[in-house]
Structure 1
Amino acid sequence: MKRHCLNLFLALSMTAALLTGCGSEAQNTADTDAISFEAVDMDGNTVTEEVFTQSKLTMVNVWATTCNPCLSEMPDLGKLADEYDPADFQIIGIVSDVMEGADQTSLDEVEGLISETGADYTHLLLNESLYYALLTDVSAVPTTFFIDDSGTVLRSVLGAKEKADWEELIDGLLAEQ
């Protein structure tokens, strides 16, 4: 019961905090500490920070099922995921308003949105480990983090962007790697 209450509190707190800034203007910041977490993806697989070693650069896009700017940019993110060599670049989504262990109706809604938007890349469900590793300073969605293959956050961006803007940022960060 105590764990259920904590999960409910985390979900409600994150949803309220994240949705207050849905669609805000983009901002850039960086955090140089490597992150560590364990989460579950939409297929029920355990994912840890080791996922970052699979590509030189990982784009982590934090989104919500009720955030229109989030959903609007997801088709472009799906295209970006397909266009880059996976050894160089990958995208991971974090569903900020659906907790790990959510009911099947919520999971079906997320799957439907992923399918509708063509965002066919790994999506993680929110849990305590992921929240404390990466999301404690997230104030709105979408928020996007760029993380290198050692797990260091290189940059964070608040707000949605057009595909060409993401490409420019990705190409610049890859050139620095």
Structure 2
Amino acid sequence: MKTRLITCLLSCLLVTALLSGCAKEEPANENTDASASVTFEASAIDGTSVSEEIFSESKITMVNVWATYCNPCLSEMPGLGELAGAYDPADFKLIGIISDVQEDADEQTLQTASDLIQQTGADYPHLLLNLSLYTAFLTDVSAVPTTFFVNQEGEVIDTVTGAMEKSAWEEKIDELLED
């Protein structure tokens, strides 16, 4: 009963948060002041457990919130996959949050998401939605893709709404690494 209630609550919150659908291809940058540290515990699509400790591993962690139905999300994922391995892991890490696939999703839904990840070459950790992730990242998300940049202390230091080309992401990452 408790699981059904949480699933229902997450579904309602997710639908409300993502009601506006996919963002346009051109990004609308939104700078976010550094705030309290983000905390969460979640499962990746490969079954591994992930927490906010992941942020301490790199100077900057890019958190890309995407959805399986979002064409701009899927269009930018090949470039993101290339970026994931282009930097020293001590400097940069990339993780995805699949905003429309919950931890308790059925096998077909999980397979669809896995297939999209494989087809786009997005070879980096992808987290499944739960209440902890929703609270940490999705409460202010009005469109997907939305990307957060998090420092080693777990503070969100920048936010970008919308998809961007690989070269634009490289510029953004390099700028944040210089700061």
TM-score, length-scaled by structure 1: 0.94
The reply to whether residue 86 of structure 1 matches residue 89 of structure 2 is yes
Structure 2: segments with no counterpart, 5+ residues: none
Contact 1:93 1:121 in 2 (8 A): yes
**1:119-130 alignment runs, 5 A limit:** 119-130=122-133
Runs of 4+ in 1 over 4 A off after TM superposition: none
Residue 110 of structure 1 aligns with which residue?
A: 113
Aligned mate of 2:32, from 30, 33, 39? 30
For the pair 1:5 / 2:5, whether they are aligned, the reply is yes
How far did residue 29 of structure 1 move?
2.1
Identity between Structure 1 and Structure 2 (%): 57
RMSD of aligned alpha carbons: 1.3
How far the C-alpha of 1:16 sits from its partner, in A, is 4.8
Counterpart AA for 2:30: N
Give the Cα separation in 1 of the matches to 2:76 and 2:51: 25
* TM-score, length-scaled by structure 2: 0.93
Are residue 50 (structure 1) and residue 53 (structure 2) matched?
yes
CA contact (8 A) 1:19 1:67 kept: no
Q: How many aligned positions are there?
A: 176
Instruction: Give the corresponding residue for 2:144.
Output: 141
* Residue 61 of structure 1 pairs with residue 64 of structure 2: yes
Q: CA deviation at 1:158?
A: 0.4
| 1:12 to partner: Cα distance | 4.2
Q: Gapped runs of 5+ residues in structure 1?
A: none
| CA deviation map 1:55-100 (0-9, x unaligned) | 1100000000000000000000000111111111010000000001
Change (3 A) 1:67 1:12: farther
Counterparts of 2:39 and 2:5, CA distance in 1: 24
Deviation at 1:19, TM superposition (A): 4.9
